[in-house]
Structure 1
Amino acid sequence: MERSEAFELLGKYVEGDVVLKHSLSVESSMRQMARFYGEDIEKFGLAGLLHDIDYEKFPETHPHSGTPILREAGVPEDIVSAILGHATESPRDTLMAKALFAVDELSSFVTACALMRPSRSYDDLEVSSVNKKLKSKGFARGVDRELIDIGASELGLDKDLLIMEVIKGLRTREKELTLLGYSTL
């Protein structure tokens, strides 16, 4: 499946700006994780882009309701499996699944950190700033910090390194997305 096809499919199920921006940010982070690990950038990106395809319409059964949608659209099974793995009760037995779980919450958190900066940009965001905000329980309360720790642990990465990779991915992709008329911010 090409990215353009995946984006069109996502548009059939995601109407809200919040889920779209989140999907774009997780796609960006997943593309960076693929670069970091030497994996297929497009495949990892598709997993990130499509991971919340069913969230708006079927929040109670997410991500399981997305499985038939993805399979019917011809999404490769390893991507479908990784998407199922980003839910805490589903097994994460591939690098793609572990990476998706690790960057899902963190991508949202890093974006929130960038939006709080005077520049409203990822360009000047540092790992230390993200860590400082992680310690503030009142900041981005909806982000489960424990899941970020679990994700880094499952990948065997130091949390600071994971944060840096997410920032790098968001920086890189934000420029490309802006040219396409979209943004993660």
Structure 2
Amino acid sequence: MTREEMRRETAFELLTEYTKSESLIKHALAVEALMQAYARKFGEDENIWGIVGLLHDFDYEQYPTLGDHPLKGAAILAERGYPEDVIYAIKTHADFLNLPRNSPMDKALFAVDELAGMLTAAALVQPQKTIQTVEVASVKKKMKDKAFARSVNRDDIRKGAEELGVALDEHIAFCLDAMKQAAERLGL
């Protein structure tokens, strides 16, 4: 499959074939929206970057153990003919694999993955359960509270912004804005 042959609809079907959890599907949609926003910012292909975001955790529900995810998913993507750079970007979001994040796409995926979870959690504790009222300062405050969204890796959020070459506040603000624009499809 060439990059031109990659279709969002096909990627979404693959996601929902392997993922039944509504929260994991919403996470994939959030990461897709953030990847598309960064693709626009960097002048890259929104479709490809969005598909990378959509599929980065598609195998997680069935293969949640360290060592299986995302490698099992990478094998499935290879079988289905996805381009190597797409598969590689997805593999690089798993820090434990120690793969260098070389391309802007690799760096963006790592930078937005955990932050998408933090922003979603911050939205869900708002009185109206909406992303529209979340602010950068409140996200940073929640990042300091280890009990809040405890499965979100704060070090990965900081490291991701640094690798992307963006100040943390700017990265949070950019991602917040992108999620606010996509709020309806994210259910936020």
How many residues are paired up?
179
User: For residue 57 of structure 1, what is the aligned residue in structure 2?
Assistant: 62
Map 1:19-168; keep pairs closer than 5 Å: 19-60=24-65, 61-88=68-95, 89=97, 90-168=99-177
2-structure distance, mates of 1:38, 1:126: 26
Offset, 1:138 = 1.4
Determine if contact 1:111/1:184 at 8 Å carries over to the other structure: no
Deviations 1:28-47 (A, max 9, x none): 11111112222111111100
2-structure distance, mates of 1:23, 1:16: 11
Cα gap change, 1:184/1:101 in structure 2, threshold over 3 Å: closer, same or farther?
Answer: farther
Q: Which moved more, 1:34-43 or 1:61-70?
A: 34-43
Which one has more relative contact order, counting CA pairs under 8 Å at least 6 apart?
1
Deviations 1:60-83 (A, max 9, x none): 210011112112223222111100
Determine if contact 1:152/1:162 at 8 Å carries over to the other structure: yes
Query: SS state of the match for residue 177, structure 2?
Result: helix
1-structure distance, mates of 2:43, 2:133: 26
Offset, 1:84 = 0.5
Offset, 1:16 = 1.2
Is 1:12 the counterpart of 2:17? The answer is yes
Output the amino acid matched with 2:83.
P
Output the amino acid matched with 1:155.
L
Query: SS state of the match for residue 20, structure 2?
Result: coil
- TM-score normalised by L of structure 1: 0.92
1-structure distance, mates of 2:35, 2:170: 14
Determine if contact 1:23/1:48 at 8 Å carries over to the other structure: yes
User: For residue 180 of structure 1, what is the aligned residue in structure 2?
Assistant: none
The Cα RMSD (Å) is 1.2
Output the amino acid matched with 2:89.
A
